[in-house]
Amino acid sequence: MEEYLNKNIKEIINQYPEIEKILDEYNIGCAPCNVGTCLLKDIVEIHNLPPEDEKELMTRIAGIIYPDREIKIPRRKRTSQASREIKYSPPMKKLVDEHVLIKRLVFLIPAVINNIDVDSEEERQLVLDVVDFIRSYADKYHHAKEEEILFKYFDENLDILKVIHEDHENARDHVKTVLEAVNNRDKNTVVNHLNAYKELLTEHIKKEDEILYPWMDRNLSIREVGELFSKFADVDRQFENAPKKYENFVDSLEDKFKLKEMVK
Ligand SMILES: [Fe+2]
Ligand SMILES: [Fe+2]
């Protein structure tokens, strides 16, 4: 089993496609991931399943790889207790709260693009305001905290961070395309790329809330958590009233469309 723990997951799935379905049952979605070079042992560590689930998962994987043999499952050294309820450190909780506002905006995208008339100045302006929210709040304010502060505490060559960076880059590309398209009054491109952004960000936030941040929290020392908290507070001071302005913008869109995402 040790040999497979050190193999990359895509290779294992290629050899034993049934393993993909098993991982899915534990909400470990490796198959759609574009990077896919994580080792099986890293995946087990990053997801930090409760011990009984982890043992069951590994036993099922071993049963597929070695159907005729009884395999002893190595026990992993844990840095903290796994629990189904996620408890975030204060700086991580701050990022999760920022996701809530981004999710509320993302939820409104279908209403924004429904029957959009790109020849109307007012409707083009609405798309430009959405783009401004994405660029200023989701990207400059929130992604900058992630990329310029939080991720610097980790080895950026880790596969999980490469996946997250790739998502940020793809999100930026969609937004750039939307901006060009709205100026060219190209409705289809605006609609397609805002939809693609919605899909990408929904999955991205889920990955961060449920996998990345809890894993980071388990690997940060108390001193580092404190440092992060104070560095995030510096960013908040720098941005002054901007976050509040964007919260008001999302409130106004929810009123306009009479729609509100029930997010925690
Ligand atoms: Fe992110
Ligand atoms: Fe994020």
Cα 208 to middle of ligand 1, angstroms: 7
Express each pLDDT in 13-62 by its tens digit. Answer: 889 999 888 888 887 776 666 556 677 887 777 777 878 888 888 888 88
Cα of 246 to ligand 1 centre, how many Å? 18
pLDDT at 264: 46
Inform me whether the pLDDT recorded for 78 exceeds 80: no
User: Residue 13: its pLDDT value, please?
Assistant: 87
Between the CA of 193 and the centroid of ligand 2 the distance, in Å, is 19
Please determine, for residue 82, whether its predicted confidence score (pLDDT) is greater than 90: no
Cα(76) to ligand 2 centroid in Å equals 28
Q: What is the tens place of the pLDDT at every residue in 235-261?
A: 999 999 999 999 999 999 999 998 876
Distances (CA, A) of 137 to 103, 153, 246, 250, 251: 12, 23, 7, 11, 14
For residue 173, the model assigns a pLDDT of 98
Distance 211 CA to ligand 1 centre (A): 12
46 vs 116, which has greater pLDDT? 116
**Which numbered ligand comes closest to the C-alpha of 200?**
1
At 55 the pLDDT is 85
CA dist 166 → 33, 54, 161 (Å):
11, 28, 8
pLDDT band at 84 (very low <50, low <70, confident <90, very high): low
**CA 96 to centroid of ligand 2, rounded, Å:** 7
Say which range, 7-11, 63-67, 87-91, 259-263, has the weakest mean pLDDT.
259-263
HSE value, Cβ hemisphere, 13 Å, CA-based, for 89: 23
Task: Report the separation in Å between the CA atom of 102 and the middle of ligand 1, taken as the mean of its atom positions.
Answer: 11
Ligand positioned closest to the Cα atom of 165: 1
Q: For residue 18, what are the contacts with CB-CB under 8 A and spacing of at least 6?
A: 64
Does the pLDDT of residue 83 top 60, yes or no? no
Query: Pick from 77, 45, 90: which is nearest to 222 by CA?
Result: 90
Mark residue 155 as left, alpha or beta (left: phi above 0; alpha: psi -120 to 50; beta: remaining): beta
Measured in Å, residue 232 CA sits from the centre of ligand 2 at 13
For ligand 1, the distance from its centroid to the CA atom of residue 207, given in whole angstroms, is 9
For residue 147, the ligand closest to its alpha carbon is 1
CA 223–ligand 2 middle distance (angstroms): 22
| 161, 154 contact by CB (below 8 A) | yes
The pLDDT, as a whole number, for residue 33 is 65
What pLDDT, on the 0 to 100 scale, is given for residue 250?
97
Rounded to the nearest whole angstrom, what is the distance from the C-alpha of residue 68 to the centroid of ligand 1?
43
- As given in the structure block, the two tokens for residue 1 are 């089993």
Ligand 1: centre distance to CA 108 (Å): 19
Mean pLDDT score across all residues of the chain: 89
User: Is residue 3 scored above 90 in pLDDT?
Assistant: no
